Amino acid sequence: MKYPAVNPDLRLRVATAALCVLLALGASAQESAGSHEYSADGETTIETRNGVRVITLRNNVFVRQEAVELTGDVAVLEYDLDNQLQKVTLTGTPARFAQQGDDEASSVSGYSDTIHYFAGAQAVVEFVGTASFTQPGTSLLCAQIRHTIETDATSGQACSGSLSPQTN
């Protein structure tokens, strides 16, 4: 019985094309709304507490959700029953927050002892303890700062700061 000749180069090309399609699908899934990534140099634990999935990351922690990046020493990520990120609590010396804008002039950043990032439609970031926050035209140093991301509304407790001219 004779077997048909198979071109090994053709098999390699087909396998490579299939791999490229799978990678492209994976990349588009990662970029979907609400997608995020995280990493840590130390221990990572995953557990469920009262129906909430909790991931704890330790040592040189990095968390990104869309344009928001958080870094610090320890991060606790909380997910709802649908595995949607609800909250990140980050501690550090200091813990840091950055949100990339359309250009460098529209980026915001801040740091504090503890950061609470509430994900979702009305994303909010809270800086607690020796808090610093900078957005276009405003710099604040406060005991506590709360910033609503979508509206750019910011409030603080026991603050000093500076304002600079803005171009609209």
Q: What is the pLDDT of residues 92-125, one digit of tens each?
A: 999 999 998 777 667 899 999 999 999 988 899 9
Taking alpha carbons only, the member of 139, 54, 133, 55 closest to residue 97 is 133
Taking alpha carbons only, the member of 95, 93, 53 closest to residue 75 is 95
What φ, ψ does residue 91 adopt, rounded to 5°?
A: -120, 155
pLDDT, residue 9, reads: 52
Chosen CATH of 36-163 out of 2.60.450.10, 3.40.640.10, 3.90.650.10, 3.30.450.20 = 2.60.450.10
pLDDT band at 90 (very low <50, low <70, confident <90, very high): very high
In angstroms, the CA 147 to CA 157 distance is 12
pTM above 0.85, yes or no: no
Among 53-62, 70-79, 84-93, 100-109, the minimum mean pLDDT is found in 100-109
Reported as a single tens digit per residue, the pLDDT across 21-60 is 333 333 333 334 457 899 999 999 999 999 899 999 999 9
Buried b (16+ CB within 10 A) or exposed e, 6-40: eeeeeeeeeeeeeeeeeeeeeeeeeeeeeebebeb
